[in-house]
Amino acid sequence: MTNRQNWLPRAKSILIRSSVLAGLVLTPATALASQQDPAGTSQESDVLFERIEQMEAELAQLRERLEQAEAQAAQAQATAEARPPVVTVPPMSEPSRGLWRPSVSDVAVQFGGYADVSAAISDSASNGDVSFSAGSFNPLLLVQYRDLLLFEGEAELEIGSNGETELALEYTQLDIFLHDNATLVVGKFLSPVGQFQERLHPSWINRLADAPAGFGHDGVQPASEVGVQLRGGVPLGSSRLTYAAAIGNGPRLNGAGAVMAEGFGGDDNGNKAISGRIGFLPTPYMEVGASALFSRVNGPSGEEPVDDHASTNARTIQSVTGDAELGDLSAYAVDYNLWGVDAAYTRGPWDVRFEYLRGVRDAISVPGHDGDDPEEALERLRMTAWYGQVAYRLTGLTDDPVLGNFEPVIRYGEFNVSGLEELAEEAAEQRWDVGLNYWFAPSVVLHTALQYREFTDRHSDEVTDDLRLLFKVSYGF
């Protein structure tokens, strides 16, 4: 088709040039023939007429070929128009799930989070029925500006046992990427102490339906902090060192003298808490870490604490009420320090974890009457929590697509308390969990677990143990 298209203008050009040449030749030849002697020029005229006849024949041939070419060109064009167009589909680069950002924009926004619903059957429930729970809904908003800033904000919505919807801000932080190995975090962030609260507590990541004893909200493990944090990871050959160090407002004491390590929006004593964790990964599937928290806390003010974080998980540290005879001890500040270690092994189908935390709040003493020796208003509080957990995905044993989605898991943990009788009665326990997970997708799981709790510091006339069957469906998105 390309050759035919090129031939057409060439034929036209030949035709035009031939016509001009014929005109130039015919005009002077005719004039000469009329002016010169007919006898002397008759032979030349014959030659000229012969040449003119040849040119007229060539002109006719050219006209014919031109008509043929035009017909072929029209036919080729009709054929081309009848053929389906060739469409080049570029690689799909912008699907669009949960996301809004033009590809050329500096700002990217993503919505994510997780949600769960659960049910529990307890042998100590007053009515013995199944207790359903809407669980929690944790929407997460991420807004990134180039490779410089990232805003993270996560809320937690829960329906409490009293039917009221509770809203809490899990964290709201601005991450500033200083360089590949350092990120500055400001705002309210999850405490870097330990591994469970910061990285494992979302219900679709946690291998069991609830947090280990003494971990998560209202445990010895700090939940969050308000302040500034520097963190990052540094490659060491094939290994990696991770670090996180934070300065924040620190924990407070409730009315009974128990420690509340939620992120408070103000500092009640002017002493900033320092916390952090160092982690080492000798291989990508093995990690050991050490954490610490150093802080000072004011004594209880004598006011009744407000239980603003009701939980379905039995009674909590914040619900421990104080002794009215304590009086106002807020003028007395003491140290509250915590340290811990953790380890993880996550190769192939295995998920093995261990974590230990120990927190100590110093005793609070007040001056004695009339110059007597100081009296101990609150004795030293010691809290220890630890757990060991093993989960194994059955894909390590079978290629069956259904059986491979099952994951047996077992966990044992303890939360021990000394120095605060009320807290020990409420929260000290030993807990066994034997569970079986079914993974519908990498972030969709059904947790089932049989849980036995023995409350180690309760009186014999109280509920001293509890056997529960737990179900929870979690979806991370």
Partner 1 sequence: MNKSTAAIGGFALLFGVGTALAQSGGGDPEDNGAAIARGAQAWADSCGACHNVRSPSEYGDVSWDVAVAHMRVRANIPGNVARDIVAFLQSSNDPAPAPVARPVSQLSTAPAATVAAPSAVQAVDIGNGSRIYAQTCVACHGADGTGALPGTPDFTDSDGALAKSDEELIRNMSEGFQSPGSAIPMPAHGGNHELDEQDMADTLAYLRSEFGSR
The least distance separating partner 1 from the CB of residue 470, rounded to whole angstroms, comes to: 20
Identity of the residue, 235 or 408, whose beta carbon is nearer to partner 1 in the bound complex: 235
Identity of the residue, 36 or 283, whose beta carbon is nearer to partner 1 in the bound complex: 283
The least distance separating partner 1 from the CB of residue 108, rounded to whole angstroms, comes to: 5
Identity of the residue, 327 or 349, whose beta carbon is nearer to partner 1 in the bound complex: 349
Identity of the residue, 94 or 129, whose beta carbon is nearer to partner 1 in the bound complex: 94
Could you tell me if 195 and 176 are in contact, meaning their C-beta atoms sit under 8 angstroms apart?
Answer: no
Identity of the residue, 377 or 391, whose beta carbon is nearer to partner 1 in the bound complex: 391
Amino acid at 56: E
The least distance separating partner 1 from the CB of residue 118, rounded to whole angstroms, comes to: 19
The least distance separating partner 1 from the CB of residue 139, rounded to whole angstroms, comes to: 14
The least distance separating partner 1 from the CB of residue 116, rounded to whole angstroms, comes to: 14
Identity of the residue, 29 or 182, whose beta carbon is nearer to partner 1 in the bound complex: 182
The least distance separating partner 1 from the CB of residue 432, rounded to whole angstroms, comes to: 24
The least distance separating partner 1 from the CB of residue 399, rounded to whole angstroms, comes to: 6
The least distance separating partner 1 from the CB of residue 281, rounded to whole angstroms, comes to: 8
Task: Name the phi and psi angles at 319, rounded to 5.
Answer: -85, 0
Identity of the residue, 196 or 455, whose beta carbon is nearer to partner 1 in the bound complex: 196
The residue written with tokens 């972030």 in the block is 443
The least distance separating partner 1 from the CB of residue 156, rounded to whole angstroms, comes to: 17
Identity of the residue, 164 or 399, whose beta carbon is nearer to partner 1 in the bound complex: 399
The residue written with tokens 């500034």 in the block is 228
Could you tell me if 263 and 299 are in contact, meaning their C-beta atoms sit under 8 angstroms apart?
Answer: no
The least distance separating partner 1 from the CB of residue 239, rounded to whole angstroms, comes to: 12
Three state DSSP letters for the chain = CHHHHHHHHHHHHHHHHHHHHHHHHHHHHHHHHHHCCHHHHHHHHHHHHHHHHHHHHHHHHHHHHHHHHHHHHHHHHHHHHHCCCCCCCCCCCCCCCCEECCCCCCEEEEEEEEEEEEEEEECCCCCCCEEEEEEEEEEEEEEEECCCEEEEEEEEEEECCCCCEEEEEEEEEEEEEEECCEEEEEEEEECCCCCHHHHHCCCCCCCCCCCCCCCCCCCCCCCEEEEEEEEEEEEECCEEEEEEEEEECCCEECCCCCEECCCCCCCCCCCCEEEEEEEEEEECCEEEEEEEEEEEEECCCCCCCCCCCCCCCCCCHHHCCCCHHHCCCCCCEEEEEEEEEEEEECCCCEEEEEEEEEEEECCEEECCHHHCCCEEEECCEEEEEEEEEEEECHHHCCCCCCHHHEEEEEEEEEEEEECCHHHHHHHCEEEEEEEEEEEEECCEEEEEEEEEEEECCCCCCCCCEEEEEEEEEEEEC
Identity of the residue, 334 or 420, whose beta carbon is nearer to partner 1 in the bound complex: 334
- Region of 287 on the Ramachandran plot (φ > 0 left; ψ -120 to 50 alpha; else beta): beta
Identity of the residue, 40 or 442, whose beta carbon is nearer to partner 1 in the bound complex: 442
- Region of 146 on the Ramachandran plot (φ > 0 left; ψ -120 to 50 alpha; else beta): left
Identity of the residue, 136 or 384, whose beta carbon is nearer to partner 1 in the bound complex: 136
The residues facing 464 across adjacent strands are none
The rounded Cα 366 to chain-centroid distance in angstroms is: 49
Identity of the residue, 185 or 428, whose beta carbon is nearer to partner 1 in the bound complex: 185
The least distance separating partner 1 from the CB of residue 454, rounded to whole angstroms, comes to: 30
The least distance separating partner 1 from the CB of residue 226, rounded to whole angstroms, comes to: 15
